[in-house]
Amino acid sequence: MNQLSQTAIEEFKTNFSGSVILPEDKQYEEARQIWNAMIDRRPSMIACCTSPDDVVQSLNFVRRHDLPFSVRGGGHNIAGTSACDDGVMIDLSQMKRVDIDPELHLGYVEPGCNLADFDASAQAYGLATPLGINSTTGVAGLTLGGGFGWLSRKYGMTIDNLLGMDVITADGQQLHASESENDDLFWGLRGGGGNFGIVTRFEYQLHPVGPNVLCGLIVFPFDEAKSIITQFARFTQTMPDELNVWMVTRKAPPLPFLAGAVHGKEIVALAICYAGDPLEGEKHIEPLRRFGNAYGEHIGVQPYIDWQKAFDPLLTPGARNYWKSHNFSTLAEEPIDAIIEYAGALPSSQCEIFIATIGGQTGRVQPEAMAYSNRDANYVMNVHARWETAVEDERCIAWAREFFNRSQPYASGGAYVNFLTGDEADRTAFAYGASYERLVALKKKFDPTNLFRINQNILPT
């Protein structure tokens, strides 16, 4: 270890209740891995925390020795900011406690939890809060960047349901942030990412959901894409808040309800979730079936926790991933044409373009209420390039960037910070839009030396 003596490491271990993993340890290679295989970084030490006190000690250690450090929750961030080279990875993945108050509909969640951990605990009481759509995503990173998913049209962004946080700031203080305590910090943490501290517990408002929901897929031929996506854009403008419909265009995976001849063909799929009475939901989704001549559908009532895992097989760790993203307030003909053009030239069988529909309750919160201010974003488009080998990097990344540039003139303001890749530091201010100057002032107050800088960084000047 270049920067640290063995003595310093041993001193750190003395008062650290978690485990310390060094490059020579057998578990090191596995412990340093994160979801996106394009990120291959080698920290000099991995500090696996088990308590807030461990986090405080880790922060004091990196500050004292002037070391770079990263903070790992679920390790799922596309930009790979949970890993660093030649520094310390502060690993929170063992802090996985979830406590549910079923009477007050509250959830208390530690930062090592992924969506599956939280969903399972809350659904034991028929409760949930809006989260993402991939169960292996970390709750902490998702929340700090905003968070949205199937329930967001009904119940808002993840941060709209956040009531409080225990956070450790750059000077090692343990604070509580809420509307009544450190409200300025609470404002910034709701969308400002990891710029202001390390959250060691989140408190969420929960809502009655499920435990069974009406959900599933309708898959259409790609040669009907213009008609399908145009109807999707029109339909989603007036659908009830309980209903969410997302669009994805890609090559068909080997779904069992599709004929074998369809597997590997370009398709347009509508993913559907109704957060209400399934019988009422059937009435609302019936028009979707008339959009075109579907290859097939798989729609029914199933446990919400199963639907939350439905796309996990397409998002397993270990592949190479590169994203580009835009917000849209409406989907006009021009961006639809761009989607069709580039979806017809996918550079690998795992690449896709998806449109996440939000709106509904997410758009009823005032833009200045919290750091996430993009309340006019009714759609979030993600160009998801995904492939297996380094020799494909140039082709797949170029495809994503070209489509991003082609569709940019039709996008609305801001961007979803959780979808920014590691080469998009120049888009951070744009992503935050009207909130950015206030975030800079907050950074100067809570982290004037920019200790927390391995992130989508907000400079304190």
Secondary element (H or E) of residue 268: strand 266-274
CATH code of 13's domain:
3.30.43.10
- Spatial separation of the C-alpha atoms in residues 217 and 273, rounded to whole Å: 9
- Spatial separation of the C-alpha atoms in residues 99 and 383, rounded to whole Å: 36
Give me the phi and psi of 65, to 5 degrees please.
Answer: -100, 5
Q: Is the pLDDT of residue 4 over 90?
A: no
Q: Which residues contact 295 (CB under 8 A, 6 or more apart)?
A: 219, 220, 221, 252, 258, 259, 262, 267
Model confidence pLDDT, tens digit, residues 87-118: 999 999 999 999 999 999 999 999 999 999 99
User: CA triplet 74, 76, 79: central angle to 5 degrees?
Assistant: 130
User: Would you state the structure tokens that stand for residue 127, as one six-digit string?
Assistant: 């409760």
- Spatial separation of the C-alpha atoms in residues 196 and 186, rounded to whole Å: 10
Same domain, 205 and 125: yes
Give me the phi and psi of 218, to 5 degrees please.
Answer: -120, 130
5: confidence class by pLDDT, cuts 50, 70, 90 = confident
Same domain, 242 and 319: yes
Q: Percent of the chain, pLDDT > 90?
A: 97
Same domain, 334 and 227: yes
Is residue 452 situated within a structural domain? no
Same domain, 202 and 270: no
User: Would you state the structure tokens that stand for residue 285, as one six-digit string?
Assistant: 């989704």
- Asked which of 75, 91, 107 is the last residue of a domain, the reply is 91
Model confidence pLDDT, tens digit, residues 111-169: 999 999 999 999 999 999 999 999 999 999 999 999 999 999 999 999 999 999 999 99
Model confidence pLDDT, tens digit, residues 396-440: 999 999 999 999 999 998 999 999 999 999 999 999 999 999 999
Model confidence pLDDT, tens digit, residues 363-390: 999 999 999 999 999 999 999 999 999 9
User: Would you state the structure tokens that stand for residue 279, as one six-digit string?
Assistant: 């019988």
Q: What is the pLDDT of residue 3?
A: 57
pTM: 0.96
Mapped onto helix, strand or coil, the DSSP state of residue 40 is coil
Output the CA–CA distances (angstroms, integers) from residue 326 to 71, 233, 401, 427, in the order listed.
Answer: 26, 16, 12, 11
Is residue 43 situated within a structural domain? yes
User: Would you state the structure tokens that stand for residue 287, as one six-digit string?
Assistant: 């028009």
Q: What is the pLDDT of residue 1?
A: 43
Q: Give me the chain's average pLDDT, please.
A: 96
Same domain, 170 and 186: yes
Q: What mean pLDDT do residues 320-335 have?
A: 97
Q: Is the pLDDT of residue 256 over 60?
A: yes
Q: Is the pLDDT of residue 75 over 70?
A: yes
- Asked which of 91, 110, 132 is the last residue of a domain, the reply is 91
3-state helix, strand, coil in the chain (%, to 5): 35, 25, 40
Give me the phi and psi of 425, to 5 degrees please.
Answer: -60, -30
Same domain, 108 and 59: no
Is residue 429 situated within a structural domain? no
334: confidence class by pLDDT, cuts 50, 70, 90 = very high
Of the candidates 362, 383, 358, the one whose C-alpha atom is nearest the C-alpha of residue 373 is 362
Same domain, 22 and 78: yes
Same domain, 218 and 361: yes
Q: What mean pLDDT do residues 320-341 have?
A: 97
Same domain, 363 and 278: yes
Same domain, 113 and 74: no
Q: What is the pLDDT of residue 43?
A: 96
Is residue 425 situated within a structural domain? no
Same domain, 262 and 343: yes
- Spatial separation of the C-alpha atoms in residues 230 and 245, rounded to whole Å: 13
Q: What mean pLDDT do residues 222-247 have?
A: 98
Q: What mean pLDDT do residues 41-68 have?
A: 96
Q: Name the pairing type of β-strands 320-328 and 379-387.
A: antiparallel
Peptide bond into 211 cis (omega under 30): yes
Is residue 457 situated within a structural domain? no
Helix locations, 86-243, DSSP H: 115-123, 139-145, 152-155, 183-189, 225-235
Is residue 405 situated within a structural domain? yes
Q: What mean pLDDT do residues 323-329 have?
A: 97
- Asked which of 51, 73, 91 is the last residue of a domain, the reply is 91
Half-sphere exposure of 456 (CA within 13 A, CB side): 27
Identify any residues that bridge with 167 across adjacent strands, giving them in sequence order.
Answer: 175, 199
Domain around 181: 98-209+435-446
Same domain, 195 and 259: no
Is-contact 270 218, C-beta < 8 A?
yes
Domain count for the chain, please give it: 3
User: Would you state the structure tokens that stand for residue 318, as one six-digit string?
Assistant: 């270990």
Q: Percent of the chain, pLDDT > 70?
A: 99
Residue carrying structure tokens 């020799």:
391
Q: What mean pLDDT do residues 241-261 have?
A: 97
Sign of CA dihedral 20, 26, 29, 33: negative
